Amino acid sequence: MKIIESAQAKINLSLAIEGRFDDGYHDLNMIMQTVSLADILEIEELSEGISLEIDPDVELPDNQDNIIWETANKLIEKYPKKIKGLKIKLKKNIPIAAGLAGGSSNAAALIRGANRLFKLKLNWAEMRNIGAEIGSDVPFCIKGGTAHVKGKGDQIKDLNPLKNYKALLINPGFKVSTAKIFNEFSNGDYEKLNIPTAKLVEIIELNKKIDWKEGWGNQLEPVTFQLFPELKEIKEWLIENGAAHSQLSGSGPTMIGFFNKEKNLVSLAKSWNRKGKSFVVDFTKGY
Ligand X SMILES: C[C@](O)(CO)[C@H](O)COP(=O)(O)OP(=O)(O)OC[C@H]1O[C@@H](n2ccc(N)nc2=O)[C@H](O)[C@@H]1O
Ligand Y SMILES: Nc1ncnc2c1ncn2[C@@H]1O[C@H](COP(=O)(O)OP(=O)(O)OP(=O)(O)O)[C@@H](O)[C@H]1O
Determine contact, residues 37/93, Cβ cutoff 8 Å: yes
Q: Which of residues 81-120 bind ligand Y (CB under 6 A)?
A: 96-104, 106
Residue from 5, 39, 137, 221 touching ligand X (CB under 6 A): that is 137
Q: How far is CA 120 from CA 40, 75, 79, 106, in A?
A: 21, 10, 8, 19
Any contact of residue 8 with ligand Y (CB under 6 A)?
no
Question: Whose CA is closest to 173, among 56, 72, 278?
Answer: 278
Active-site annotation, residues:
10, 137
Whose Cβ is closer to ligand Y: residue 66's or residue 284's? 66
Q: Which of residues 86-125 bind ligand X (CB under 6 A)?
A: 104
Peptide bond just before 253 cis, omega within 30 deg: yes
Distance CA(40)–CA(42), nearest Å, equals 7
Binding mask 169-208 for ligand X (x = CB under 6 A): ---------xx--x--------------------------
Binding mask 167-196 for ligand Y (x = CB under 6 A): -----------x------------------
Question: Whose CA is closest to 162, among 23, 26, 283, 15?
Answer: 283
Which segment (133-141, 199-207, 258-266, 276-284) binds ligand X by CB under 6 A? 133-141
In angstroms, what is the minimal distance from the CB of 182 to ligand X?
4
CB atoms inside a 10 Å sphere around CB 184:
16
In angstroms, what is the minimal distance from the CB of 50 to ligand Y?
13
Q: Which of residues 127-156 bind ligand Y (CB under 6 A)?
A: 137
AA letter at 206: L
In angstroms, what is the minimal distance from the CB of 253 to ligand Y?
9
Any contact of residue 142 with ligand X (CB under 6 A)?
no
Any contact of residue 135 with ligand X (CB under 6 A)?
yes
Angle at 283 between CA 28 and CA 39, to 5 degrees: 85
Distance CA(67)–CA(248), nearest Å, equals 24
Determine contact, residues 53/40, Cβ cutoff 8 Å: no
Residue from 102, 113, 153, 217 touching ligand X (CB under 6 A): that is 153
Phi and psi (nearest 5°) for 127?
-65, -40
Residue 80 marked as a ligand binder:
no
User: Binding site: which residues?
Assistant: 95-105
Residues that bind ligand Y (CB under 6 A): 60, 66-68, 96-104, 106, 137, 178, 250-251
